[in-house]
Amino acid sequence: MNDYATLTIGEKTLKLPVIIGTEGEKAVDIRGLRQETGFITYDPGFANTGSCKSAITFMDGEKGILRYRGIPIEQLAEESSFVETSYLVINGKLPTPEELTRTSVMLNDHSLVHEDMQIFYQNFPRASHPMGILSAMVNALRSFYPELMNTDEGFEITFLRLLSKVRTLAAMSYKISRGHKVIYPRPDYTYCANFLHMMFDSPVKPYVLDRDLVKALNVFWILHADHEQNCSTAAVRTVGSGRANIYASLSAGIAALWGPLHGGANQKVIEMLTDIHEKGLRVSDLVARAKDKKDPYRLMGFGHRVYKTYDPRAKIMKQVCDTVLSKMEIKDPLLDIAKQLEEIALSDSYFIDHNLYPNVDFYSGILLRAMGIPLNMFTVMFAIGRLPGWIAQWKENLDDPDQKITRPRQIYTGQNQADYLPMALRKKS
């Protein structure tokens, strides 16, 4: 193949360089296009636009492949912990035993948050969604920890501080929303065990850790750790590209993740399954609605911009759900409904022709329910898992000499030049 592509516009022919990634992905470098021809590209939703080169995550949507730093997600889910995977995603390599211990010690050292942060929570209206609160709190962290990240050590402390404190803030928000005493992290617990402890321990009812749930939470967060240039990661990179600090950038990422087409889908899936269960809706009717072009209804937890086959994360999530529910002897009717829905959808020609398969959010809520996580905290769980990815992508963007402030162009379709009309001359409506 040529190492350039040829584009002819009117009289002008352009040789555009071709860029090929390590897994053979191909791109046409159009950076000179506007200057040379006056044309821009038009690609709403950036479905065909590569915004960066990245060495963090590889996805093959046709084959259902997901790898962090080259390592398949299946191996990480089986062998790794969330802390080790976070290290891998952020630092680009698996840690040595000493590096992993140092990371765990630092996560423990930075797990408390300033006590004044509790006052913030008291002032949010009771009905506030935890994602809105989390986004605000992460932005507020910058005021409590304003140290500049101008050394490697400064970056390391800030990244670990974020991983540790966001988890503490999330558990704290749950306790405060229930009017319960805040539970502090324990130094003898691992990262995931500590989260469950902070969520569910109580002075009158000590929480007994379940090894299977701790393992399941590790897998849940590993599966969410990064997913290349999705909506929230693009938001983090965009905000970071204006040289906003990492707290502000992550706060924007959390806000972007909240949307029901993105991370908010995990809450919407359970609401959909609950409606089927409680209101006696028929699965086949919902499938029919999802296919009806006149109806905006969509099956939540189905479809993906990149995956045109079964999402590899959903495959693992489904297995973990089955294992955890059977070990805990939980009979969740929503799991049966989900499986029924999947079966009907996957044998339907609309879903087959549109390549619509379950995505990560389809089964994840059932696992979170088994852990006792309340519905409105589901997307917060996704956000904690996505932190290492956002951090790694923010840093990669900062270090990339090709990157500039993100500033797409547009095709203007509004009114041509018009004169200002004084109020006295305007017609009454």
Which chain residues interact with ligand CMC by CB under 6 A? 45, 227, 230, 261-263, 265, 290, 298-305, 354, 356, 359-361
In terms of CB distance, is 185 or 365 closer to ligand CMC? Answer: 365
In terms of CB distance, is 163 or 265 closer to ligand CMC? Answer: 265
3-state helix, strand, coil in the chain (%, to 5): 55, 5, 40
In terms of CB distance, is 141 or 265 closer to ligand CMC? Answer: 265
Exposed, middle or buried by CB within 10 Å (0-12, 13-18, 19+), for 7?
Answer: middle
* Matching residue, tokens 């294992």: 323
Instruction: List, in sequence order, every residue forming a beta bridge with 67; answer none if it has no partner.
Output: 58, 72
What angle separates helix 333-346 from helix 312-327, to the nearest 10 degrees?
A: 150
With b for 16 or more beta-carbon neighbours within 10 A and e for fewer, the 16-51 pattern comes to beeeeeeeeeebbebeebeeeeeeeeeeeeeeeebb
Active-site hit among 110, 224, 304, 311: 304
- Give phi and psi for 315, each to the nearest 5: -60, -50
**Shortest distance in whole angstroms from residue 405 CB to ligand CMC:** 25
Q: Quick check: helix, strand or coil at residue 208?
A: coil
Q: Which of 233, 226, 168, 220 is nearest to 199 (CA)?
A: 168
**Shortest distance in whole angstroms from residue 299 CB to ligand CMC:** 4
Residue type, 17: P
How far, in whole angstroms, is CA 69 from its chain's centroid? Answer: 17
Q: Dihedral of the CA atoms 95, 98, 101, 103 (nearest 10)?
A: -50
**Shortest distance in whole angstroms from residue 117 CB to ligand CMC:** 28
Residue 361 annotated to the active site: yes
Q: Record the tokens describing residue 197, joined without a space.
A: 């402890």
Q: Quick check: helix, strand or coil at residue 273?
A: helix
Contact residues for 288 (Cβ-Cβ < 8 A; gap 6+): none
In terms of CB distance, is 283 or 360 closer to ligand CMC? Answer: 360
**Shortest distance in whole angstroms from residue 294 CB to ligand CMC:** 12
How far, in whole angstroms, is CA 271 from its chain's centroid? Answer: 20
Exposed, middle or buried by CB within 10 Å (0-12, 13-18, 19+), for 158?
Answer: buried
**Shortest distance in whole angstroms from residue 297 CB to ligand CMC:** 8
In terms of CB distance, is 130 or 263 closer to ligand CMC? Answer: 263
Residue 197 annotated to the active site: no
| Cα–Cα distance measured from residue 392 to residue 396, given in angstroms and rounded to the nearest whole number | 6
| Cα–Cα distance measured from residue 242 to residue 207, given in angstroms and rounded to the nearest whole number | 44
Q: Determine the residue with CB nearest ligand CMC.
A: 303
In terms of CB distance, is 141 or 222 closer to ligand CMC? Answer: 222
- Give phi and psi for 67, each to the nearest 5: -135, 135
**Shortest distance in whole angstroms from residue 144 CB to ligand CMC:** 30
| Cα–Cα distance measured from residue 373 to residue 205, given in angstroms and rounded to the nearest whole number | 17
In terms of CB distance, is 192 or 360 closer to ligand CMC? Answer: 360
**Shortest distance in whole angstroms from residue 265 CB to ligand CMC:** 4
In terms of CB distance, is 302 or 394 closer to ligand CMC? Answer: 302
How wide is the angle at C-alpha 202 spanned by C-alphas 200 and 206, nearest 5°? 85
Active-site hit among 197, 361, 399, 402: 361
Q: Which residues are catalytic?
A: 304, 361
